[in-house]
C-alpha cells in the first residue's frame, strides 16, 4: 500500500492511533507478564505504556482535541499492525528484560521508519515538517532504548527451557 498522507488531520489521526495502540499493547503485555509471574517485565511494560500515553496526550494537544478516528483498516500502516505496537505473536513467558527491550526497540524503529517514509512521500510541506519531527523523536527514543538495553544481559542459550514445561510434544 502506498503511503499517501497530505493533510495534518490525517497525519495526527495516524500519530494518535499509533501511540494509542502502543499503549494498549504494552498494557496487554504487562498483564500477560503479571499472569505469568514476571513482575519485573510487567513493570517494564507498564512503564512503556505510561510513556506512550504521554505521547497520546501530546498528539491530542497538537490536534487541539482527540483526532477523528479512521476505520481500523483505513490507517496506512506499512506493517501488518500499527508500527509502534509489539506484533501479535511476539513475546514469551520466559523472556528476560533484554528480550523485552529488544521488542520495544523494534517498535520505536518501525515508528521512526513510518514517519520518515511519510515525510518522504507527502506533497504537503506542513505534513512533511511534522512527520520529520515525529521521526526525530522516535529516533531519540530508540537511542535511549539502546542505552537501556545495554544495561541488561542477553538471555542464556537455554532461556526458553522450563522444568515445568507446558509443552507435551517433543
Partner 1 sequence: MNKAEPLIARYSHKDYKSAVKPIWCPGCGHFGVESSLFRALAYLELPPEQVAVVSGIGCSSRIPAYTQCYGFHGVHGRAPAVATGLKLARPELTVIVTSGDGDAFSIGGNHFIHACRRNVDMTLLVMDNEVYGMTKGQPSPTTPADWDSKIAPGGTGVNPFAPLAVALASGANFIARGFSGDPNGVARLLVEAIQHPGFSFVQVLSPCVTYRPEEKFWKKMVHSSSVEPTHDPAVAGHRLLSDDGFTTGVFYIGNRPTYTATVGTSDNDLSAIEEELAI
Residues in the site for partner 1, rule: CB under 8 A?
A: 20, 24, 28-29, 31-36, 65-66, 68-73, 75, 77, 80-81, 87-93, 95, 166-170
Q: Shortest CA distance to 129 belongs to which of 146, 140, 143, 115?
A: 115
User: Residue 107: CB partners within 8 Å, gap ≥ 6?
Assistant: 22, 83, 84, 85, 86
Q: Which ranges in 6-96 belong to alpha helices (H)?
A: 8-35, 39-63
- Compare residues 23 and 127 and give the one whose CB is closer to partner 1: 23
> 128 to each of 3, 65, 124, 133, how far by Cα in Å?
13, 21, 6, 9
- Compare residues 23 and 142 and give the one whose CB is closer to partner 1: 23
Q: CB 143 → partner 1: shortest distance, Å? A: 27
- Compare residues 34 and 117 and give the one whose CB is closer to partner 1: 34
Q: Shortest CA distance to 22 belongs to which of 104, 90, 94?
A: 104
- Compare residues 76 and 132 and give the one whose CB is closer to partner 1: 76
Q: CB 144 → partner 1: shortest distance, Å? A: 25
Q: CB 94 → partner 1: shortest distance, Å? A: 9
Amino acid at each position: 500500500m502506498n503511503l499517501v498522507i497530505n493533510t495534518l488531520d490525517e497525519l495526527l489521526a495516524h500519530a494518535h492511533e499509533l501511540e494509542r495502540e502502543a499503549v494498549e499493547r504494552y498494557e496487554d503485555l504487562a498483564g500477560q507478564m503479571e499472569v505469568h509471574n514476571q513482575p519485573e517485565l510487567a513493570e517494564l511494560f507498564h512503564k512503556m505504556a505510561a510513556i506512550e500515553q504521554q505521547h497520546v496526550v501530546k498528539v491530542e494537544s497538537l490536534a487541539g482535541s482527540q483526532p477523528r478516528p479512521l476505520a481500523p483498516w483505513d490507517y496506512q500502516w506499512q506493517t501488518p499492525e500499527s508500527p509502534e505496537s509489539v506484533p501479535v505473536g511476539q513475546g514469551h513467558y520466559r523472556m528476560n528484560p533484554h528480550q523485552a527491550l529488544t521488542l520495544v526497540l523494534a517498535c520505536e524503529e518501525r515508528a521512526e521508519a513510518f514517519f520518515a517514509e511519510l515525510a518522504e512521500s507527502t506533497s504537503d510541506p506542513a505534513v512533511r515538517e511534522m512527520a520529520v519531527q515525529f521521526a526525530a523523536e522516535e529516533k531519540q527514543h530508540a537511542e535511549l532504548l539502546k542505552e537501556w538495553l545495554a544495561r541488561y544481559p542477553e538471555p542464556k542459550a537455554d532461556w526458553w527451557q522450563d522444568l515445568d514445561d507446558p509443552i507435551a510434544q517433543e
